[in-house]
Structure 1
Amino acid sequence: MHPAPALPAPEEPAVRTVLLRGGDVYSPADPFASALLVQDGQVAWVGSDGAAESYARDADLVVDLDGALVTPAFVDAHVHATATGLALTGLDLTGCPDLAEALRRITAFVRAQPAADRERGVLMGHGWDETGWPEGRPPTLAELDRACEGAAVYLSRTDVHSALAPTALRALVGADLAAHAGYDADAPLSRAAHHAVRRIALARQTPQQRDAAQRAMLRRAAELGIGAVHECAGPDISSPEDLTALLALAGGGAEAAAHPEVFGYWGELGAVDTARRLGAVGAGGDLFVDGAVGSHTACLHRPYSDAADLDGAAYLTADQIAGHVTACTEAGMQAGFHAIGDAALAAVVEGVRAAAGKLGIAAVRALRHRVEHAELLDADAVAAFADLGLTASVQPAFDAAWGGAEGMYATRLGAERARAMNPFAAMVRAGVPLAFGSDAPVTPLDPWGTVRAAAFHRTPEHRVSVRAAFTAHTRGGWRALGRDDAGVLVPGAPASYAVWAPTDLVVQAPDERVANWSTDPRSGVPGLPDLTPGGPVPRCLATVVRGRTAHLAG
């Protein structure tokens, strides 16, 4: 196993000047670069080992990379830190093969918890997905109550747009739960009913539980080469206390151990002042225009193929969207929306166009307002995104998990609409800025897996090159924040980078033809790891955030 580079440990102070040499450095400044000089948290120089000798005598630390690859650190442009940490440290039902196993795991988890936690708090779990179970259904309330043995347990579906809630948790909300949209006496809760039980579940988490979960998430992100995350918070997905605690943890000061940077979004309609007070960079993220396909709540023009009486949930109108974009633009703050279905995306386009008509399109474009997920886009919507300067914050792992002819999208939407999902190549061709994320815990933190999912999309015409996907998952996340100087290793850029164990580097096209792969250095294009499906992904040896080590492999 290749050793980690001899960088300072995460709990140690940063070294002022560091020279890394003897590896491969992924930089547009020099496609043949093998050395990198970092000074005061910024990239100071990129070049060859021979030229690096002139810098070595003045460096405070010289690190031999021993053939390792250095790239910009990844940016995960859509996460839910506390929920991800709770999934990492609590009950994870992802990949359960059937209903019986899910119920068995729930019972085992409940029994393993301290009695005080079972009696006073709400236990948390995530990740169940009935579409892959032979039974083809979630548990009934009676089955769930037996499995939970009287404990209040919140179990979010894999898409986090519905949840299993036993009687003990429902009782904490009270009798008015039944009046909420999305309530079902015997099935998972969705829409407003789901939001009600989630608020109760999160409110019952202690500050210590929340802190442990957030630390677990940031630690895991750093282990994977992620140097920054965008936290998508809001009143229906987390809480003000959750967001402020996360931002305080991530910005813990020079004496604290380094973490990935955190940029918060607050998804509440018209709440520009609230977003600013909480320290958010934008009033958006999970500001829900609709829900999710798996929960039958993504808003569609035509009903679901497997539920002809449903066409999803519409949480915001085009007029409300226009008002929010107008208020944010006038305040100089980025707006954003969660929109998945074609009807929801049409409402976003209509609303943003109305705001542009009032304020001028240049003012709207300048803020790079965001749309999270943006899955069921047709050609007109793609063109509108490009025209309005909208950033698409997308999750390629959704296609890897649910795309394809036999996947959940095809079941819910039918083959024709499923093939239209996540048209990354069309967005790139139209000039729509892409920022890649995971929506963790909906899909796991897995940056190389995300790049692979985009390059080998289940619908071939939607594939992009590995290089384009990598850019969307590094520099794209910074551009989505309005910061064009980061996410690339060039002089003057922040020194946020990851070091990867040595691997074969190729220039990989968005298809499987060998003729489109190259290891020829004369191409002048820096290579990236071979991400052919089924192969390994690179191992992260170190993650450095603005010159400070956030992760060092053991």
Structure 2
Amino acid sequence: MTERTLPPGPPSGRRGPRTVLLRGGAVYSPADPFATAMLVEGGHVAWVGSDGAAEAYVQTADEIVELDGALVTPAFVDAHVHATSTGLALTGLDLTGSASLAAALDSLTAFVDAQDVPGGVLIGHGWDETGWPEGRPPTLAELDAAARGAAVYLSRTDVHSALATSALRELTEDLAGRPGHHADGPLTRDAHHAVRQTALARLTPEQRARAQRAALARAAELGIGALHECAGPEISSEEDLAALLALAAGGEGPEVFGYWGELGERGVETARRLGAVGAGGDLFVDGAIGSHTACLHASYADADHTGTAYLTAEQVADHVEACTAAGLQAGFHAIGDAAVAAVVEGVRTAGERVGAERVRALRHRVEHAEALDDKTVAAFAELGLTASVQPAFDAAWGGPEGMYVQRLGAERAAALNPFAALLRVGVPLAFGSDAPVTPLDPWGAVRAAAFHRTPEHRISARAAFTAHTRGGWRAIGRDHDGVLVPGAVASYAIWAADDLVVQAPDSRVAGWSTDPRSGTPGLPDLTPGRPLPVCLRTVVLGRTVYRAAE
């Protein structure tokens, strides 16, 4: 890919917005499935079409980008992230790849030895005992020894439980009296929230800004043009969300749209004061399957309980009613079937109180929404709910040997994340990563949905791509964004990609087609094992926020 800036022409009165002409590639646009060129004026797409027709714009363009066969698509939207925690994982201790308990403890010791933060708290992420040969997390004594006595917080991969050293526990008020406290093991529920707040409260503004910049930079490198930050009093802080929104408003990377997960009138008031688009996100109805805190109708296969319920259907109803009255989107974290059922019951009750159409119009969100049966899927469509989901969860924990089967058994595990069933009844999908739970990886998420480990839940690559681009915009009520058509915002990415294909509708696994008669724009072949596209440039509102090194 090459570019050249044209010399200024003779004076011709007042100039319009700066124009950029891209040509000689493939432009993924419903306006023209065979487009090879695109014109951008300021922050909007002005035209898409052929290279031949693009000649009319050569003399007036301020810059010409020769694509050299590269692919241009709308920038991705990651509909569920935690930017500060993601940045801390990127710049700090990441235990995601630890092959054993011993390896994780060795990594912790090396990390502690490399730090110089007297009186501070060290933060890491990503451990997962289900894949370790020891089959267990460390004891508190093992953790303290590896940490050399430092105050350390280590979130599990699902961020619904954590390891905390004795030094951090001692800094946390009334820890032993909180639900979820365990004297020698991982902390869950209120005890986990308390140590997390203790750890994050000791971040300096400089540490927070560095982590947030790292997360935004990584997103831009991956062709992500917008993020939905899921904040709240139990997972971050008002200061954290305000700082992130201010940083993003400065134009350093993707746009950021905030959600504030706090109940009722207070949540609505805080969301509005912070400039959030909704009072939701990680407003916890339950926890996570890996931590045994997702709320189920029947007991776990490997534990004699049904998980944890944080909110009742009545509390859900009250929150949806408050948000609807304020014209603000509500949203809930719900993973287990009992938790999702509580959300459905609560939203339906709110509709009976304030009017079903008013509730439907705001497209209230359910984050994760993993355990759904046909009745619940139909209820999502009836109530106008948006499913904000993470295909990488299935890629990481699905399949016959995955964590889902360990926790739930094969039958219940195979029913999780039914993307195809949701689409069939018209439920809008918005894809995200829940980073740092799974990494920022948009093309990986599209592949994971198209090649779901349970075949009946697979969707086409085109539908998955739409869910990760336009779906994220629709989730915040902007139905016309996320496509490259004249008048749309110019948020796009340029990719080095293999031959483009159109997935055949009669076989979502291996039936790929390059037949131009389909009139459908092509996408990279995402068959597992093939390399994913590499981002060459990311542009947000006409402004380049990432450019690959030559």
With normalisation by structure 2, the TM-score equals: 0.96
Alignment-derived partner of residue 473 in structure 2 = 478
The structure-2 alpha-carbon separation of the partners of 1:501 and 1:15, relative to structure 1 and needing over 3 Å to count, comes to farther
Whether 1:275 aligns to 2:271 is yes
Structure 2 distance, partners of 1:306, 1:107, is 31
Structure 1 distance, partners of 2:233, 2:512, is 47
Structure 1 distance, partners of 2:518, 2:480, is 26
Whether 1:153 aligns to 2:152 is yes
Structure 2 distance, partners of 1:444, 1:347, is 29
Question: Which string of whole-angstrom CA distances, capped at 9 and with x for unpartnered residues, describes residues 79-137 of structure 1?
Answer: 000000000000000021000000000000000001xx1x2111010000000001110
Alignment-derived partner of residue 123 in structure 1 = 122
Q: In the TM superposition, what is the alpha-carbon distance from 1:361 to its structure 2 partner?
A: 1.1
Q: Which runs of 5+ in 1 are unaligned?
A: 9-13
Q: Structure 2 counterpart of 1:298, which letter? A: A
The structure-2 alpha-carbon separation of the partners of 1:230 and 1:318, relative to structure 1 and needing over 3 Å to count, comes to same
The structure-2 alpha-carbon separation of the partners of 1:318 and 1:457, relative to structure 1 and needing over 3 Å to count, comes to same
Q: In the TM superposition, what is the alpha-carbon distance from 1:151 to its structure 2 partner?
A: 0.4
Q: Structure 2 counterpart of 1:287, which letter? A: L
**Superposition RMSD on alpha carbons, in Å?**
1.4
Alignment-derived partner of residue 315 in structure 2 = 320
Alignment-derived partner of residue 54 in structure 2 = 52
Q: Within 5 A, what are the aligned runs for 1:105-120?
A: 105-114=107-116, 117=117, 119-120=118-119
Alignment-derived partner of residue 235 in structure 1 = 233
Contact 2:230 2:258 in 1 (8 A): yes
Alignment-derived partner of residue 11 in structure 2 = none
Q: In the TM superposition, what is the alpha-carbon distance from 1:511 to its structure 2 partner?
A: 8.1
Q: Select 2:69's aligned residue among 67, 70, 77.
A: 67
Whether 1:266 aligns to 2:260 is yes
* Secondary structure of the structure 2 residue equivalent to 1:405: coil
Whether 1:286 aligns to 2:288 is no
Alignment-derived partner of residue 184 in structure 2 = 186
Whether 1:97 aligns to 2:99 is yes
* Secondary structure of the structure 1 residue equivalent to 2:175: helix
* Secondary structure of the structure 2 residue equivalent to 1:451: helix
Contact 1:15 1:61 in 2 (8 A): no
Q: Within 5 A, what are the aligned runs for 1:25-40?
A: 25-40=27-42
Alignment-derived partner of residue 416 in structure 1 = 411
* Secondary structure of the structure 1 residue equivalent to 2:48: strand
The structure-2 alpha-carbon separation of the partners of 1:476 and 1:409, relative to structure 1 and needing over 3 Å to count, comes to same
Q: Is the deviation greater in 512-521 or in 152-161?
A: 512-521
Contact 1:80 1:441 in 2 (8 A): yes
The structure-2 alpha-carbon separation of the partners of 1:202 and 1:267, relative to structure 1 and needing over 3 Å to count, comes to same
Number of residue equivalences: 538
Q: In the TM superposition, what is the alpha-carbon distance from 1:7 to its structure 2 partner?
A: 8.4
Structure 1 distance, partners of 2:404, 2:274, is 36
Alignment-derived partner of residue 304 in structure 1 = 300
Q: Which has the higher contact order (CA 8 A, sep 6+)?
A: 1
Q: Which runs of 5+ in 2 are unaligned?
A: 7-15
* Secondary structure of the structure 2 residue equivalent to 1:76: strand
Contact 2:460 2:508 in 1 (8 A): no
With normalisation by structure 1, the TM-score equals: 0.95
Q: Structure 2 counterpart of 1:532, which letter? A: T
Contact 1:107 1:147 in 2 (8 A): yes
* Secondary structure of the structure 2 residue equivalent to 1:46: strand
Q: In the TM superposition, what is the alpha-carbon distance from 1:517 to its structure 2 partner?
A: 1.2
Q: In the TM superposition, what is the alpha-carbon distance from 1:514 to its structure 2 partner?
A: 8.0
Whether 1:207 aligns to 2:205 is yes
* Secondary structure of the structure 2 residue equivalent to 1:177: coil
Whether 1:378 aligns to 2:373 is yes
Structure 1 distance, partners of 2:43, 2:417, is 36
Q: Structure 2 counterpart of 1:281, which letter? A: V
Whether 1:448 aligns to 2:447 is no
Q: Structure 1 counterpart of 2:165, which letter? A: P
Q: In the TM superposition, what is the alpha-carbon distance from 1:258 to its structure 2 partner?
A: 3.6
Q: In the TM superposition, what is the alpha-carbon distance from 1:513 to its structure 2 partner?
A: 6.8
Structure 2 distance, partners of 1:398, 1:502, is 25
Contact 2:451 2:509 in 1 (8 A): no
Q: Within 5 A, what are the aligned runs for 1:488-503?
A: 488-503=483-498
Q: Within 5 A, what are the aligned runs for 1:1-16?
A: 3=1, 16=18
Whether 1:549 aligns to 2:547 is no
The structure-2 alpha-carbon separation of the partners of 1:35 and 1:50, relative to structure 1 and needing over 3 Å to count, comes to same
Contact 1:7 1:549 in 2 (8 A): no
* Secondary structure of the structure 1 residue equivalent to 2:176: helix
Q: In the TM superposition, what is the alpha-carbon distance from 1:508 to its structure 2 partner?
A: 1.9
Contact 1:4 1:542 in 2 (8 A): no
Question: Which string of whole-angstrom CA distances, capped at 9 and with x for unpartnered residues, describes residues 307-358 of structure 1?
Answer: 02x2111000000000000000000000000000000000000000000111
Question: Which string of whole-angstrom CA distances, capped at 9 and with x for unpartnered residues, describes residues 515-553 of structure 1?
Answer: 731112121110000000011100000000010001000
The structure-2 alpha-carbon separation of the partners of 1:154 and 1:6, relative to structure 1 and needing over 3 Å to count, comes to farther
Question: Which string of whole-angstrom CA distances, capped at 9 and with x for unpartnered residues, describes residues 418-475 of structure 1?
Answer: 0000000000001000000000000000000000000000000000000000000000
Q: Within 5 A, what are the aligned runs for 1:239-250?
A: 239-250=237-248
* Secondary structure of the structure 2 residue equivalent to 1:189: coil
The structure-2 alpha-carbon separation of the partners of 1:510 and 1:419, relative to structure 1 and needing over 3 Å to count, comes to farther
Alignment-derived partner of residue 9 in structure 2 = none
* Secondary structure of the structure 1 residue equivalent to 2:464: helix
The structure-2 alpha-carbon separation of the partners of 1:156 and 1:15, relative to structure 1 and needing over 3 Å to count, comes to farther
Structure 1 distance, partners of 2:146, 2:2, is 44
Contact 2:371 2:417 in 1 (8 A): yes
* Secondary structure of the structure 1 residue equivalent to 2:324: helix
Alignment-derived partner of residue 11 in structure 1 = none
